[in-house]
Amino acid sequence: ANDLASFHKDKGDGCKTCHQTPGKVADDSENYINTQCKSCHGDYAALKNPKLKIDPHDSHLGDINCTSCHKGHEQSKVYCNECHSFDLKIPFNDAKKKEAWDAKWDQQKIQQAIAKGPVESTDVVIIGAGSAGYNAAIAAKQAGAKVILVEKAPFSGGNSMLAAGGMNAVGTPQQKAHHVEDKVEWFVEDTMKGGRYANDPKLVEILAEQSAAGVKWLESLGVNMDDLKRSGGARVDRTHRPADGRSAGPTIIQALRKAADKYGVETRLNSRAEKLVVNDDHQIVGVVVHGKHSGYYMLSAKSVVLTTGGYGYNKEMIAYYRPTFKGMTSSNNITATGDGINMAKEIGASMTDIDWIQAHPTIGVDSRILISETVRGVGAIMVNAKGQRFISELATRDRASDAILKQPGKFAWLVFDNQLYKKAKMVRGYDHLGMLKTADTIDGLAKLTGMDSKLLASTIGDYNQYQKTGDDKAFHRQDMPLNVTQPPYYAVKVAPGIHHTMGGVAIDTKAEVLDLQSWPIKGLYAAGEVTGGVHGYNRLGGNAIADTVVFGKIAGENAAANALKK
Ligand code: MEZ
């Protein structure tokens, strides 16, 4: 056998091992095949292999379809290696194969599907199953609409699945329990200041005002957000995170997946929306979807919600909108290719701040892995190649990235000790991936990283003194929760990489997409990174998840109301 299908055919019950009807795949999500895989091989829990250092069946992606990696009639691939470079074995593997999410779409087939007319009708179609999409879908469903959520990837989660930090919110019981005094106005001011005052203040007010309700809503869907920390540009601790120290994104997405199933949202994987269809009055009437097995078809819908994320992994768009970022590494999911922006543009949607792209200061060097701002928030210091601090670790991302790019070698080290290692669980994940340098002494750490031992020791000595007095005389860092005194000591090498595209489709306060004259395009809504206006020129850490939850919910509710109105 030279592929998985022939192997199974030879060994098992012929084509029926995988297919209900030989020669056919019943659904684009490949649910039937996946149920068959699990009925023979067991579920993810059963497949975990404690002997493996990196276990693909125990990943942050959660319990995804087996067919995301294991392919029947084509070569399999280790999906993890779209971002990582693991030495993992998979039967019938084509290691070089890459997904081409930014491939050109077949315009002729799109036009044929429109000419044929809708094959199915629903109230609301939601495009993109990340946090914004799930929140919109659940909200629309709760409002009584029939909802179809389409996702081009073989599993849901989008960029949100990779979010490490957390969700900013003000006025929550969590802040109260931690004795944090905060105000909606402070959240608004911090966000506007961080965004260089280019944000749409009305959208920012909604973000802040509805953030606490957003945390409550996530909790109602099964997410724990009881931990609090401070992100860059925030004056108080307002980033809410899972209490067990796990990364926020995977935790939120796994809960949203379950909630969407519970509420009866129909999720179609391997289903890429490629065209928004409008009538002569420029109202949305549907979407053309390209299903992996079902091909091109048109869905009619009264409302469509774009939750496709940004364009942080579309190399052409990055090079066009920000030539100085051309070729820069990206923390983004390979599916973040700006589909929603391009589809909306085609039907005359207006764009806000489309050329504003955020570089996150701390992406692991030689990897696409984001070293979360949480690590600095919890207490790490940031030093240059010689071992000197050069900026407050809590500076906003644009300033921190600029400062790193001015250092020798254009990189930095995050340095911390065992106290932080024990406190921030995600750090153990970086360790597991072999990203940390570890030594029992500061001198040993300097030797391992090539820093100047005396300089590093004096930097750490000074910082410990500032931490003790609460006064960072060098860079005015406001919050210094930990000193660096307890071995072993750790360092991780970081440099800026593309993280968030702030610009996107213009929306109003109801999450309606605006046309070039700033009138709403009837029936079209958008939320999350596909939109512009919420974050201005620079997004604060913790505001992306807040955006997806608050505006995802608003978009879903309004899309449902529009679809259900008589
Ligand atoms: O909001 C974010 O992008 C965030 C908090 C990222 C991070 O550094 O963890």
Residues 293-343 have pLDDT tens digits of: 999 999 999 999 999 999 999 999 999 999 989 989 999 999 999 999 999
Q: Is the distance from the beta carbon of residue 542 to the nearest atom of ligand 1 less than 6 Å?
A: yes
559 in Cβ contact with 122 (< 8 Å):
no
Q: Name the β-bridge partners of 490.
A: 416, 438
Yes or no: say if 304 and 125 are a contact pair by the CB < 8 Å rule: yes
- Give dist(CA 1, CA 336) in Å, integer: 35
End-to-end CA, the chain: 58
Residue 312: strand, helix, or coil: coil
Q: Please tell me the distance between residue 167's alpha carbon and the centre of ligand 1 in angstroms.
A: 9
CA of 540 to the centre of ligand 1 (A): 8
Protein residue with least CA distance to atom 6, ligand 1: 165
Ligand 1 neighbourhood includes 274 CB (under 6 angstroms): no
> What is the pairing mode between strands 295-306 and 118-127?
parallel
> What pLDDT shows up at residue 2?
82
| Whether the CB of 512 sits within 6 Å of ligand 1 | no
Nearest to 14 by CA among 85, 72, 71: 72
Ligand 1 center–CA 499 separation, angstroms: 9
Give the ranges where 158-197 is alpha helix by DSSP (H): 173-177, 184-194
Which two three-digit tokens encode residue 207?
């973000």
Tell me the best of 161, 246, 360 to mutate to test the pocket of ligand 1, counting ligand atoms within 8 Å of each CB and taking the most.
360
| Cβ pair 266, 222 in contact under 8 A | no
**417 and 488 in contact (C-beta within 8 Å)?**
yes
Say which residues have a Cβ less than 8 Å from residue 314's Cβ, sequence separation at least 6: 102, 336, 337, 338
Task: Using pLDDT thresholds of 50, 70 and 90, give the confidence band for residue 255.
Answer: very high
Q: How far is the CA of 343 from the centre of ligand 1 (A)?
A: 27
Q: Rounded distance, CA 189 to CA 317, Å?
A: 31
Nearest 5°: the CA angle 69, 72, 76 is: 35
Q: How far is the CA of 545 from the centre of ligand 1 (A)?
A: 9
For residues 30 and 164, the model is more confident at 30
Q: Which residue's CA is minimally distant from atom 2 of ligand 1? A: 541
Q: Which atom of ligand 1 lies closest to the CA of 373?
A: 8
**What angle separates helix 543-564 from helix 248-263, to the nearest 10 degrees?**
20
Dist. CA 115–CA 120, nearest whole Å: 14
pLDDT tens-digit series, residues 9-52: 877 778 888 888 888 887 999 999 999 999 999 998 899 999 99
Write the pLDDT tens digit of every residue in 390-413. Answer: 999 999 999 999 999 999 999 999
> Among this protein's residues, is 322 annotated catalytic?
no
Q: Is the CB of 369 inside a 6 Å radius of any atom of ligand 1?
A: no
Q: What are phi and psi of 148, to 5 degrees?
A: -120, 125
| R_g of the chain computed on alpha carbons | 24
In short, whether 128's Cβ falls inside 6 Å of ligand 1 is no
List CB contacts of 552: < 8 A, sequence separation 6 or more. Answer: 131, 132, 133, 134, 135, 136, 139, 307, 527, 528
Instruction: Provide the percentage of residues in the chain whose pLDDT is more than 90.
Output: 84
Q: Return d(Cα 24, Cα 105) in angstroms, integer.
A: 24
- Angle among Cα 423, 425, 430 to the nearest 5 degrees reads 120
pLDDT for the residue 9: 82
Beta bridge partners of 147: 124
Which residue, 374, 396, 400, is CA-closest to 495? Answer: 400
ipTM of the complex model: 0.94
541 Cβ below 6 A of ligand 1: yes
Question: Which ligand 1 atom is at minimum distance from the Cα of 362?
Answer: 8
pLDDT tens-digit readout, 234-251 = 999 999 999 988 889 999
Helix (H, G, I), strand (E, B) or coil at 412: strand
CA 421, CA 438: separation in Å to the nearest integer? 11
Question: Which residue out of 241, 376, 397, 539 is catalytically annotated?
Answer: 397
> In the 3-class helix/strand/coil scheme, how is 343-404 assigned residue by residue?
HHHHCCECEECCCCEEEEEEEECCCCCECCHHHHHHCCEEECCCCCECCCCCCCHHHHHHHH
Kindly report, residue by residue over 127-162, the tens digit of the pLDDT: 999 999 999 999 999 999 999 999 999 999 999 999
pTM score of the predicted model: 0.93
Mean pLDDT of 492-505: 97
Q: What is the pLDDT of residue 96?
A: 72
- CB 304 near ligand 1, within 6 Å: no
Instruction: For residues 230 and 236, give the distance between their C-alpha atoms in angstroms, rounded to a whole number.
Output: 6
